[in-house]
Homo-oligomer: A and B are copies of this chain.
C-alpha cells in the first residue's frame, strides 16, 4: 500500500481549523471568566471542563443525538441548511471544538488573570479602544496561555479519535483522519503501517511544537528578574 497522506492532511486541516475556532470562541469565554464577578462564573467554569469527563465515544454518542436530524441542533440545521452536521468535515470541526474547549479556555483564562487589569487601564489612558487594547496589550501579554491552549487543543484534536469516528463516520477524504487510520492498522495487526503512520504523526507534531516553543522562547513574556 502506498503511503496515504490524505488522512494526515485532513487531520492537520481539522486541527488547524479547530484551534482557530477554539481561539476565537474560547478567548471571549476565558476573558469573561477571568473578569466577571458574577456568581455564574464558577458554574460556567465547571461546565466548560465537563466535556473532558465523558469518554469520547460517549460524548460522540451524545453529539450524534444532538446533531442528528431528530436532535435539537441537527433538526434546526437541517431545516435551515438542508443537511445536518453529522458525517461531514464541518461536523468534525464542531465536535472537536466542543471536545477541546477546556484545553484552550483554561490556560487562556489563567493567563488573563495573571495579566490583570493594570495593563488594560494603562492602554485606555493611552487612548486605546477596548478591542485595540485587548489585542495590542492583553493578548500579547497573555501569549503563553494562548500557546499552551493552542498546543493542547491542536495536539488533542490530532490525537482524538472516539468522537470524530462517531460523528464523522470515517468517510475517506472527508472524515477519515489519521488517528482513525492508525487505529485501523493496529486493529488489523498491520503493525508496520501503524508504526510508520504514528512516527510520521509524531515527527510532524514534534516539528510543529518545536517551532512554536522556539518562537515563543524568543519573546519571553515576563521579567526574568
Q: In the complex, which residue of chain B has the Cβ closest to the Cβ of A224? A: B117
Q: Which residues of chain B have C-beta atoms less than 8 A from A57's C-beta?
A: 161, 183, 186
> Which parts of A16-64 form the interface with B (CB within 8 Å)?
41-43, 45-47, 49-50, 52-59, 61-62
Bound Cα distance from A194 to B65, whole angstroms: 13
Q: Which residues of chain B have C-beta atoms less than 8 A from A148's C-beta?
A: 106-107, 109-110
The reply on A169 being an interface residue by CB < 8 A is no
Could you tell me if A49 and B151 are in contact, using CB atoms closer than 8 angstroms? yes
Bound Cα distance from A210 to B161, whole angstroms: 28
The reply on A192 being an interface residue by CB < 8 A is no
Could you tell me if A53 and B205 are in contact, using CB atoms closer than 8 angstroms? yes
With known contacts A107-B148, A145-B110, A194-B61, A52–B161 Cβ distance under 8 A: no
Could you tell me if A46 and B144 are in contact, using CB atoms closer than 8 angstroms? no
Provide the A186-219 mask, 1 if CB < 8 A to any CB of B, else 0.
1000000010001001100110011001100100
Bound Cα distance from A42 to B209, whole angstroms: 8
With known contacts A50-B206, A54-B198, A214–B110 Cβ distance under 8 A: no
Chain A to chain B contacts (Cβ below 8 Å), 12 pairs:
A43-B210, A52-B152, A53-B159, A53-B202, A54-B201, A55-B161, A55-B183, A56-B161, A56-B162, A106-B151, A110-B110, A116-B224
Q: Which residues of A contact B (CB under 8 A)?
A: 41-43, 45-47, 49-50, 52-59, 61-62, 102-103, 106-107, 109-111, 113-114, 116-118, 144-145, 148, 151-152, 155-156, 158-162, 179-180, 182-183, 186, 194, 198, 201-202, 205-206, 209-210, 213-214, 217, 220-225
